[in-house]
Chain A
Amino acid sequence: MHLNDPAIIQFLKWLGGLLTGDLGRSYSNNMPVADLIGRRLVNTLELGLVTAIVSVPLSLALGIAAAINQGTVYDRVVSTLTVGFISVPEFLIATAAQLIFAVYLKWLPALSLAADINSIGDLLRIYTMPVITLILVNSAQMIRMTRAAVIETLHTPYVEMALLKGASRGRMVFRHAVPNTLGPIFNAIALSLSYLLGGVIIVESIFNYPGIAKLMVDAVATRDLPLIQSCAMIFCIGYLVLVTVADIVAILSNPRLR
């Protein structure tokens, strides 16, 4: 395990191994790190994908609607709820979801045990609670950013001009305002999805979901450094990819930046 070498040599060896696809061996259970990560990475990606598919359209719709109806009761309810959800830790939402759906209503199991999946119904039951939690945490961020971006554009002179020349409200919003907010909105989406990375760490450990974040938290408990190193690298790569995509989309959607 090269534990005698200085840290920098250990790091270079790890880097060299990385290039040849060898992530090293886990200290605590003596298995190749790549084998431990493989299946769990897929699980985590599934969780993230399902969350993204539901939360992105949902929060765009709610955010744009809140911006158009700014100052109405609907807008206030949405704004208050989103402030509430972004101000509390993810584990609070997760435990509240457990309390409501598993303890009081008894609709869903409190833990995700992937072993006893027999039907599509079981699969849904297992995914539902982690996904609901992540959607709540994530959408709140996205709704807030979308709403702010659309409101900002609605106050620009050219949108006012469109209204003055007699464009309908719908046309004003969807033809004149929304295309110009695409940059900020995509930025908001990518940023929220990168918050998903943090949310996933908490949600997986609460619901005992067999994903890579749970693997990493367990590895921290046993101070299994090769495993932590590889998991951390995967998370950082995911984060960087999302942020880069956000920047590229922002440039593509704004001709002035091209």
Chain B
Amino acid sequence: MKATDAIPVASRRSRYKFNRVAIACFAVIIAWTLVAIFAPLVVRYPIGKIVDYNYFGPISWNFWMGTDYLGRDMFSRIIMGARFTVGISLIAVLIACFNGVVVGMMAAVVGGWFDTIVSRVMDALISIPSKLFGLVVVAGAGSSLPVLVLTLAVIYTPGSYRFARAFAVNINTMDYITVARARGERLGYIIRSEILPNILAPILADFGLRFVYIVLLLSGLSFLGVGVQPPNADWGALVRENLDGLSFGAPAVMFPSLAIATLTISVNLLIDNLPQKIRDRSE
């Protein structure tokens, strides 16, 4: 997970101290990532298989998180759902942040008409409410995984662009950038070696926040029935599928909700509790 890449680098230096909350949150994020990677080894039943005669079964030794509306094992479905939720969100946030940051830095360095045109296009994109954008794209293009990933990436690129550009513009006025220009360095070298290292910490914090937004939006879209389609299910879709169980207080509704909450709250709290050194630079 890229948002947390800063941690091994940072902990080498003693002045970067992480408090307990941050460590606990980091552990939860790592745990979910591992679960997503090794999901097929962890599941206890094939995810599509109906293994219980009861639907909305309670928690038992055989079914650790109860069974769903068809009598499928909820634990296995949530473990496999982690792949969709974490995987799709991670790919989407990587695309969004990579594009946003690279174009943002380019706009700041190049300036002029390039900056103006790109900024106006991004402003236009940002003025469409995100859930609405998702709904409209799915209505037009249908729902498949590539469409979903690209839509999420497009929705969150402008925010990342604005964020990166705002920082890069400040760095761009520094003397060492002028020196690099005078040396005749190319655009690629300037943004990679002069600007990027100086805006990396805030960019990583922003990456984490954007990941949370994407997880929330993806869950919301799946909950509305336009995200991940059956027979596959991410956590949002699992809540939707089992919503009828709400009136019995079925564990099948609670656990996917809990899964989303643990992931998003951990990322948010981790960012709130980043060491002062990193936070100062991101403000």
Contacts and interface: CB of A to CB of B under 8 A. Distances in A.
Interface of A: 83-84, 86-92, 95-96, 98-99, 103-104, 110, 194, 197-198, 201-202, 205, 216-217, 219-221, 223, 225, 228, 232, 235-236, 239-240, 243
Contacts of B224: 201-202, 205, 217, 220
Interface string B236-249: 10010001001101
A236 B239 contact: no
18 contacts: A84-B265, A87-B216, A87-B261, A89-B216, A89-B220, A89-B260, A90-B220, A91-B219, A99-B246, A103-B249, A201-B135, A220-B135, A225-B139, A232-B135, A235-B129, A236-B129, A239-B129, A243-B127
A249 to B, nearest CB: 18
Q: Report, as a range, how many residues of chain B touch the other chain.
A: 35 or more
B225 interface: yes
Given A202-B223, A217-B224, A103 B246 contact: yes
A92 B127 CA distance: 26
A248 to B, nearest CB: 16
Contacts of A110: 247
Contacts of A235: 129, 132
Nearest to B133: A232
Contact of B127 (A84, A221, A240): A240
B128 interface: yes
Nearest to A240: B127
Given A205-B224, A221-B225, A232-B136, A89 B130 contact: no
Contacts of B131: 197-198, 201-202
B260 A92 contact: yes
Contacts of B70: none
B264 interface: yes
Contacts of A90: 220
A220 B129 contact: no
Contacts of A95: 239, 243, 246, 253, 257
B269 interface: yes
A93 to B, nearest CB: 10
B97 interface: no
Contacts of A220: 135-136, 138-139, 224, 226
Residue picked from B132, B212, B243, most chain A C-beta under 10 Å: B132
A211 B246 CA distance: 23
A70 to B, nearest CB: 14
Contacts of B128: 236, 239
Given A91-B219, A223-B139, A197 B132 contact: yes
A219 B139 contact: yes
A198 B130 CA distance: 7
Interface string B2-22: 000000000000000000000
Nearest to A243: B127
A225 B140 CA distance: 8
A91 B225 contact: no
Contacts of B260: 88-89, 92
Interface string B195-216: 0000000000000000010001
Contact of B129 (A86, A88, A98, A197): A197
Nearest to B253: A95
Contacts of A223: 139
A236 B257 contact: no
Nearest to A228: B139
B135 A89 contact: no
Given A88-B260, A88-B265, A95-B257, 20 more contacts: A83-B272, A87-B264, A87-B265, A88-B264, A91-B223, A91-B236, A95-B243, A99-B246, A197-B132, A198-B131, A201-B132, A201-B220, A216-B132, A220-B135, A220-B138, A223-B139, A228-B135, A228-B139, A232-B132, A235-B129
Interface in B224-283: 224-226, 236, 239, 243, 246-247, 249, 253, 257, 260-261, 264-265, 267-269, 272
Contacts of A198: 129-132, 220
B266 to A, nearest CB: 9
Nearest to B240: A91
A230 to B, nearest CB: 12
Interface string B132-162: 1001101110000000000000000000000
